[in-house]
Structure 1
Amino acid sequence: MIGGGIFAVLGLTVLLARGAAPLAFLVAGLIALVTSYSYAKLAVRFPSEGGTIEFILRAFGPGLIPAWLNILLLASYIIMLSLYAYAFGSYGAVLLKGTEDPLLKKALIIIVVSTFTFLNLLGALIVGRAEDIMVVIKVLILLFFSALGFMNIDPNRLMPSEYPPPLHILTGGLIIFLAYEGFELIANTATEIRDPDQNLPRAFYAAVLFVIFIYALVALVAVGNLPFDEVVRAKDYVLAEAARPFLGQAGFVLIGIAAVLSTASAINATLYGTARISYLVAKYGELPRIFSRRIWKGAYEGLIILAVLTIMAALSFDLENISVAGSLGFLVVFAMVNFANLKLAKVTSASRIPAAIGGIGCLLSAVVLVVHTLKTNPSSLKSATILIGATFLFEMVFRTRRRFSEFVDWRLREKEAFLDRYEDHLKTILEAIGSHFREAEVYLLDELARGEREGANKLHLAVVLPRKLSPEEKRRGERKIRTSAGLKSHHPLKITFLHPQEKEWLAPHSAKKIREVNRPLGADSP
């Protein structure tokens, strides 16, 4: 989730927070970390490629607010795209000419958005390979910059005497909050993650913590190496300028290249991923089944619309306008995700306290951002006003909520239907187990064993066999059972194979025996 945000918005944070810029990034990161708790809980319970919108829909239904939030999320992605394009143009122009050139910057903005729009029209294979390469290069260069720059920091620039008032520090973090939004993309991949109950929360928390560390470290190095007047002069490409004191012109060029690659890959990923999801939901009311092919087929006009609006925003607004609008949009959306988790706490097995803290924290942060910007630079709220007003007006006029289905992702609908009728499926599944493992004892586990259907995200069975199976035999055995029972790949059945000596593992899983050796419990004697 380390996108192009750090290259684009670092200068804004340093201008507001000065020597406390690392603290500002930490504040924004803590809000993201609390919100990631809600995302983790919701993604485990409702795995869906619809991600954010699916969670809001599950909590609040297909009304005006969820439909508007989908449009707001789509508009926020457009703002993110324009931020990346703006940064690409800024860094690209100074790399090519050695100084800022507004005309060249605008030309580069148009070129980069058009290029990745064309690549997305070609299909996902080319896009996916390009993304992998650019992400690896970007992270390596950032780590190299941080390691060398840390050894050349001037501690005096980081002293509390260099700190502005606390409100400026807080706003310095909030104005760049959009740089953290990438963690929510993990939710859209929940259906592809093995053992999601364990791995999804780890992925969310590890991603946010790693990015907090990188962003705070990069801010520390930048502030510690660059005088404030240089930050003011080079605010649109401050990270490249920060490399010059300890790496010279080569460092400036290296970070400039990293910025160009990073922002380009971020444009690519946003067009390829969640922006496409929000558009398809707005158009169809759900993700069409052909969506599994991971291309824009059936919605090519959406890709063109997004590209045109991105170019218009990047050419029309300055960096602060873009950043305020994007951060405000994501703070509002993330507040509602936290409130969704709060409302569904019983279903997601979540603690209400972090969900409430996340929701209230995001809303208060949005208010602080608006009030402070209104007092210090009211013109920077121009794009945010358009973002909120235009998206709400669009929803009122076109009423996309009328097209909303009960579920965004049809696979989640089938999963929930499967779990609602799990007892009907059990007979077929037990017959399949018996046909392949005659000496199996079978136990029903977890929420369904406790009669807690609302909190169940899978049908979990333990199969106890007299012989211990290898990992490959376990995978092959589960595939055979699924095939024999006629289950689809997305049906939420999990089978844990155990040896009799491992039965103590069953205790914390509320195990309920449903099949004796050679026959199901309750079956007639042979």
Structure 2
Amino acid sequence: MTTLERRLGVRDAVVLGLGSMLGAGVFVVFAPATAAAGGGAGLLVALAIAGLVAFCNATSSARLAARYPESGGTYVYGRERLGEFAGYLAGWGFVVGKTASCAAMALTVGLYAAPALARPIAVAAVVALTAVNLLGVTKTAGVTRWLVAVTLGVLGVVVAVGLTHARVVPLDGSGTRPTGVLTAAGLLFFAFAGYARIATLGEEVRDPERTIPRAIPVALGAVLVVYAVVAVTALAVLGAPRLAVTPAPLAAVVQAAGVPGLAWLVRLGAAVAVLGVLLALLAGVARTTLAMARRRDLPESLAEIHPARRVPHRAQLLIGAVVVALVALADVRGAIGFSSVTVLVYYAIANASALTLPGRGRVVPAVGLVGCVVLAASLPWHSVLAGVLVLCAGALWFLARRRHPPLP
């Protein structure tokens, strides 16, 4: 079997994790999360809950990735620790949910760059980033490094401008409901989910037993700090009622601070940030597709690796083509809830897999498992229903293939 080449160090892995998380979430998710939480106090509690669940998931993923350093992430871990069906369900949910998420991210790029041309720009973005991923994983890491730098620069400008014009806003918790906080945490989890990209690229990381457990917590911790600072700034400038109904909250922050001329910079930064997420996400979905194809859970032809570029070029091209097709149908807000459901199921399987590892350290995966289930169940009912239907369709396909296996 042809394998991928280990070219990524700790710094590259951290950058890919940052690029996967510092994207659309920080620019769009605070508004619906604030509305669901019922106020500023609820938003910050929800952010803490989402961060805690993400930390548990990251810790479990790091332990598993160090033990099974190959492409595929939880698809591989579930198969190795829980059986073929658990691994398949994780891989199916990841590929389907994240492919739809890729389409939503591409549309977000278009909506921020030029709303009237959102779909053509989205298609162009997918085509261009698929081409970058086909050049090799080091090219992906290099481009992501620049995208992360631009994103952090724009967020720094928003925070600096916002804090100079911030006012003391009491964190009113009178409208906060426990169920609303959990729903908000589930939505906010969408903005944390990218750290899995480090694990799904496990076959391309140098010294994975050391690199992956270091890179995932560093990337997650940095993003949690950034999100907390941005959330506090937005609340201090806009207040919870206005934040809850603002479709572009960070652009609204600079406008409310009396610097409307910077709104274009925020819009540009949002587009660049989402490009970073989309680049890493396209690579991660292709690697999970590769892992599933190697085990014949997907067509075996998708397991082919380019002899020179050392990338799964057929899987990457297929994912790019499907995302381009979905751009015509995708809805950004609906994709957030749907993606959160499937990804939370994916991480629930990761935590359950980590519980079977020898040695101590069972508290963290247990908390992560319970947290994933609770947050998934707390999301809007239509998102939960869509996620359940997709997972059931995958389960039926798995059973059908077991009954009528492909010819060797």
TM-score, L = length of structure 1: 0.65
Give CA-to-partner distance per residue, 1:330-373, whole Å, 9 cap, x none: 111101111101012x1xx341222222112211221222xxx2
Aligned pair partner of 2:158 in 145, 167, 173: 145
Change (3 A) 1:208 1:123: closer
Aligned pair partner of 2:232 in 220, 239, 247: 220
Residue pair 1:145, 1:243 contacting (<8 A) in 2 also:
yes
Residue pair 1:282, 1:400 contacting (<8 A) in 2 also:
no
Distance 2:261 2:112 in 1: 14
In the TM superposition, what are the counterparts of 1:164-179 in structure 2 within 5 Å?
Answer: 164-179=176-191
Distance 1:385 1:396 in 2: 16
Aligned pair partner of 1:72 in 77, 93, 99: 93
Q: Which amino acid aligns with 1:117?
A: T
Task: Report the alpha carbon displacement of residue 159 of structure 1 after superposing the two structures with TM.
Answer: 1.6
Task: Report the alpha carbon displacement of residue 258 of structure 1 after superposing the two structures with TM.
Answer: 0.8
State the match for 2:318 in structure 1: 302
Aligned pair partner of 1:337 in 347, 350, 363: 350
Aligned pair partner of 2:271 in 257, 260, 267: 260
State the match for 1:202 in structure 2: 214
Task: Report the alpha carbon displacement of residue 246 of structure 1 after superposing the two structures with TM.
Answer: 2.2
Distance 1:338 1:398 in 2: 27
State the match for 1:55 in structure 2: 77
Q: Which amino acid aligns with 1:13?
A: A
In the TM superposition, what are the counterparts of 1:413-424 in structure 2 within 5 Å?
Answer: none
Give CA-to-partner distance per residue, 1:240-292, whole Å, 9 cap, x none: 22222226123211211110001012111111x21101222233327957368
* Structure 1 unaligned spans of 5+: 94-100, 406-526
Distance 2:243 2:373 in 1: 30
Distance 2:163 2:404 in 1: 51
Change (3 A) 1:106 1:289: closer
Task: Report the alpha carbon displacement of residue 150 of structure 1 after superposing the two structures with TM.
Answer: 2.9
> Is 1:7–2:27 an aligned residue pair?
yes
> Is 1:91–2:106 an aligned residue pair?
no
Distance 1:178 1:400 in 2: 36
Give the secondary structure class of the aligned counterpart of 2:355.
helix
> Is 1:290–2:305 an aligned residue pair?
yes
Give the secondary structure class of the aligned counterpart of 1:277.
helix
Distance 2:61 2:317 in 1: 30
Task: Report the alpha carbon displacement of residue 141 of structure 1 after superposing the two structures with TM.
Answer: 1.9
Change (3 A) 1:240 1:59: same
State the match for 1:186 in structure 2: 198
Change (3 A) 1:111 1:168: same
Q: Of the two, which has the highest radius of gyration?
A: 1
Aligned pair partner of 1:279 in 280, 289, 292: 289
Give CA-to-partner distance per residue, 1:481-508, whole Å, 9 cap, x none: xxxxxxxxxxxxxxxxxxxxxxxxxxxx
Distance 1:400 1:306 in 2: 28
Residue pair 2:74, 2:87 contacting (<8 A) in 1 also:
no
Larger strand proportion of the pair? 1
State the match for 1:104 in structure 2: 117
Distance 1:36 1:58 in 2: 18
State the match for 1:505 in structure 2: none
Give CA-to-partner distance per residue, 1:298-350, whole Å, 9 cap, x none: 43652344323541452xx351x211111111111101111101012x1xx34
Does 1 or 2 have the higher relative contact order (CA < 8 Å, sep 6+)? 2
Residue pair 1:41, 1:350 contacting (<8 A) in 2 also:
no
State the match for 2:62 in structure 1: 40
Give the secondary structure class of the aligned counterpart of 1:48.
coil
Q: Which amino acid aligns with 1:67?
A: Y
Percent pairwise identity: 24
State the match for 2:368 in structure 1: 358
State the match for 2:14 in structure 1: none
Residue pair 2:63, 2:213 contacting (<8 A) in 1 also:
yes
Give the secondary structure class of the aligned counterpart of 1:154.
coil
Task: Report the alpha carbon displacement of residue 382 of structure 1 after superposing the two structures with TM.
Answer: 5.9
Q: Which amino acid aligns with 2:87?
A: P
State the match for 1:391 in structure 2: 394
